[in-house]
């Protein structure tokens, strides 16, 4: 039986724990710093009918006997690096939802190299993944490009309705704030919007074997041009509906991979991927993927096999057998 440790018992950590238990996996330990959670039985926190006899602690060493630890505490590698090092030192495989860990060599090349070397020495795997980045705007694109002899360009868009997302997500996209306030908070980093545009584009470019000259990314607040209401939420004209942004990888003087995200109140939900090949092009479109359960499912689906890919700091591209060629 696979034993899963949880480092970070917020919304995503709890959802991962529930999915893992439903799969028949064992929760080996849970770590968090929230004083409201410390000392409580994990079954109680998850509102299960039975207690598990496992209690939330702030001591990461309690996770030492896990087959894999799911880490979910922050978006930026420099902020969570010491946490990851502690887990690697324990000799456990690590799956993290840290967005910038999905392709850490872009923003944090030195930290990525150190983490890779440590993981190799300890014989464990470290992987950053989730729904986005990790799957919808990167891994999925590579898989969909498998039937192409050569690829010219890949363009993907994810659109989601902020009313269907949890409150912390709404806060980080500035929903309901005065638009100018939201813009300033986004500029200062007080709200993050989506994190991972460049990482997704670079994962796709890496799978294509491209030599990337530069990466472009940007994000802006969407201001309501009229009153908008949806999902019990009302945003008045002039206030922030959410954000939209993009990331693009440039190679050989042309854009070879572009990913876009629209996260706003009332948006149509879908993912759309257009792959332009040397011989033909294909358009793929979904009806939208729930982000929270999607993240938990991706992580739990990886949990049992992640250690089979060998030690070191890996990306999702390292797990894929497909290597499409750039035209």
Residues with Cβ within 8 Å of 301's Cβ and at least 6 positions away in sequence, in order, are none
Helix/strand/coil for 139: helix
The verdict on 281 and 143 lying in the same domain is yes
Q: How far is CA 106 from the centre of its chain?
A: 16
Find out whether 7 and 31 touch, Cβ atoms under 8 Å.
yes
Q: Is residue 205 part of a domain?
A: yes
Q: Is residue 327 part of a domain?
A: no
- 187-235 pLDDT, tens digit each: 999 999 999 999 999 999 999 999 999 999 999 999 999 999 999 999 9
The verdict on 269 and 309 lying in the same domain is no
Q: Is residue 90 part of a domain?
A: yes
The verdict on 145 and 127 lying in the same domain is no
Q: Report whether pLDDT(132) > 90.
A: yes
- 83-123 pLDDT, tens digit each: 999 999 999 999 999 999 999 999 999 999 999 999 999 99
What percentage of the chain carries pLDDT values higher than 90?
98
- 283-298 pLDDT, tens digit each: 999 999 999 999 999 9
CATH classification at residue 195? 3.30.360
Q: Which of 296, 103, 78, 107 is nearest to 199 (CA)?
A: 103
Question: 39-44: long-range contacts (C-beta < 8 A, 24 or more apart)?
Answer: 42/17
Q: Is residue 17 part of a domain?
A: yes
The verdict on 281 and 302 lying in the same domain is no
pTM of the model: 0.95
- 238-248 pLDDT, tens digit each: 999 999 999 99
In this predicted structure, what is the pLDDT of residue 150?
96
The verdict on 147 and 273 lying in the same domain is yes
Joined together, the tokens standing for residue 305 give 């096999």
In this predicted structure, what is the pLDDT of residue 248?
98
Find out whether 305 and 93 touch, Cβ atoms under 8 Å.
no
DSSP β-ladder status, 233-235 and 228-230:
antiparallel
Q: Which of 30, 50, 53 is nearest to 41 (CA)?
A: 53
The verdict on 303 and 273 lying in the same domain is no
Joined together, the tokens standing for residue 281 give 């092009």
Number of structural domains found in the chain: 2
Could you identify the residue written with the tokens 């996770």?
Answer: 63
What's the average model confidence in pLDDT over 138-153? Answer: 97
Instruction: Write out the residue range of the structural domain in which residue 304 sits.
Output: 3-131+295-319
The interaxial angle of helices 11-22 and 291-303, nearest 10 deg, is 50
What's the average model confidence in pLDDT over 32-40? Answer: 97
The verdict on 153 and 232 lying in the same domain is yes
Instruction: Indicate the pLDDT class of residue 1, thresholds 50, 70 and 90.
Output: confident
The verdict on 119 and 192 lying in the same domain is no
For the chain, the residue count is 327
CA dist., res. 326 & res. 269, Å (int)? 30
What's the average model confidence in pLDDT over 160-179? Answer: 95
Instruction: Indicate the pLDDT class of residue 161, thresholds 50, 70 and 90.
Output: very high
Find out whether 49 and 25 touch, Cβ atoms under 8 Å.
no
Instruction: Indicate the pLDDT class of residue 44, thresholds 50, 70 and 90.
Output: very high
In this predicted structure, what is the pLDDT of residue 205?
97
H or E stretch covering 238:
none
């Amino acid at each position: 039986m696979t034993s899963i440790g949880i480092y970070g018992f917020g919304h995503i950590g709890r959802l991962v724990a529930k999915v893992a238990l439903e799969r028949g996996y064992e929760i080996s330990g849970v770590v968090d710093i929230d004083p409201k959670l410390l000392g409580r039985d994990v079954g109680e926190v998850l509102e299960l009918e039975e207690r598990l006899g496992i209690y939330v602690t702030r001591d990461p060493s309690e996770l030492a006997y896990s087959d894999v630890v799911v880490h979910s505490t922050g978006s930026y590698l420099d902020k969570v690096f010491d946490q990851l090092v502690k887990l690697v030192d324990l000799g456990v495989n690590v799956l993290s939802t840290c967005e910038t860990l999905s392709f850490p060599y872009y923003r944090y090349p030195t930290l990525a190299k150190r983490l890779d070397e440590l993981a190799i020495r300890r014989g464990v795997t470290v992987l950053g993944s989730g729904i986005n980045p990790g799957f919808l705007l990167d891994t999925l694109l590579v898989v969909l490009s498998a039937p192409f002899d050569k690829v010219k360009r890949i363009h993907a868009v994810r659109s989601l309705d902020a009313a269907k997302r949890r409150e912390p997500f709404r806060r980080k996209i500035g929903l309901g704030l005065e638009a100018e306030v939201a813009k300033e908070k986004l500029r200062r980093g007080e709200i993050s919007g989506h994190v991972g545009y460049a990482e997704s584009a670079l994962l796709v470019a890496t799978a294509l074997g491209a030599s990337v000259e530069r990466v472009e990314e940007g994000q802006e607040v969407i201001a309501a041009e009229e009153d908008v209401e949806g999902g019990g939420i009302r945003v008045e004209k002039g206030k922030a509906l959410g954000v939209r942004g993009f990331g693009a990888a440039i190679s050989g003087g042309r854009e070879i991979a572009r990913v876009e995200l629209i996260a706003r109140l009332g948006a149509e939900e879908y993912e759309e991927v257009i792959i332009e090949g040397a011989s033909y092009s294909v358009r793929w479109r979904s009806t939208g993927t729930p982000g929270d359960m999607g993240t938990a499912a991706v992580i739990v689906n990886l949990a049992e096999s992640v250690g089979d890919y060998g030690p070191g700091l890996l990306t999702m591209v390292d797990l894929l057998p497909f290597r499409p060629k750039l035209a």
